[in-house]
Amino acid sequence: MVRHIVNKAHISKNTAHELDRDISAGQRAADVVARFGGSWAFIVLFALILVCWVILNSYILVNYNKAFDPYPYILLNLFLFMLASVQAPIILMSQNRQAEIDRLNAEHDYEVNLKAELEIMLLHEKIDSLKEQQWQELIAIQQEQLKLLSKLIQNYRS
């Protein structure tokens, strides 16, 4: 941070590219699963699978008197429980990674804001210095004008 200020170097960077380079295959897979598991496509697909499961079991039960998973659908409940028990930790891993990304982005934002604040303070000092210099020059010009004016007055009286 300090070296950026001393070297007058840019501190802004795209943290997303840096973080995407350093992720493992497991983290990438967790992100994909969490992205799909939290989408409308997953909800619609899951609802279709449940409806098909119920219709298929009901059709087989009615026509063949023996379904592979009759009502109350215990096998379906087992699959749903297994899906939830696997999907929940994967989504939590993805959320933890996202929290890490957010923390790193917040740190970077803080560094950028701190550098911007320091640069603004330097600009204020420069402007104040220029203002002080201009006041001194203005006073010198006024004194010169007063001398010229007094000479004019003396010449006019004589």
Q: What is the pLDDT of residues 81-124, one digit of tens each?
A: 999 999 999 999 999 999 998 998 999 899 889 888 988 999 99
Q: Residue 84 domain-assigned?
A: yes
Number of domains comprising the chain: 1
Phi-psi category of residue 126: left, alpha or beta, with phi > 0 → left and psi -120 to 50 → alpha? alpha
Q: In this structure, is residue 31 part of a structural domain?
A: yes
Q: Does residue 93 form part of some domain?
A: yes
The verdict on residue 47 lying in a domain is yes
- 43 located within any domain: yes
Domain hosting residue 18, numbered range: 11-115
Domain assignment present for residue 111? The answer is yes
Amino acid present at 126: K
- Asked if residues 123 and 115 have their Cβ atoms less than 8 Å apart, the reply is no
34: how many CB neighbours lie within 10 A of its CB? 19
- The H or E element that residue 148 is part of is helix 74-157
Which letter does DSSP use for residue 66 in this model?
Answer: -
pLDDT at residue 134 in the model: 93
Segment of 14-18, 22-26, 40-44 carrying the highest mean pLDDT: 40-44
Q: Say if 5 falls within a structural domain.
A: no
Asked whether the predicted pLDDT for residue 48 surpasses 80, the reply is: yes
- The pLDDT value given to residue 14: 67
- Whether the predicted pLDDT of 6 surpasses 70: no
The tokens describing 94, both together, are 């993805």
Query: 64 vs 49, 73, 74, 87, 117, CA distance in Å?
Result: 21, 17, 19, 35, 77
Instruction: Express each pLDDT in 140-153 by its tens digit.
Output: 999 999 999 999 99
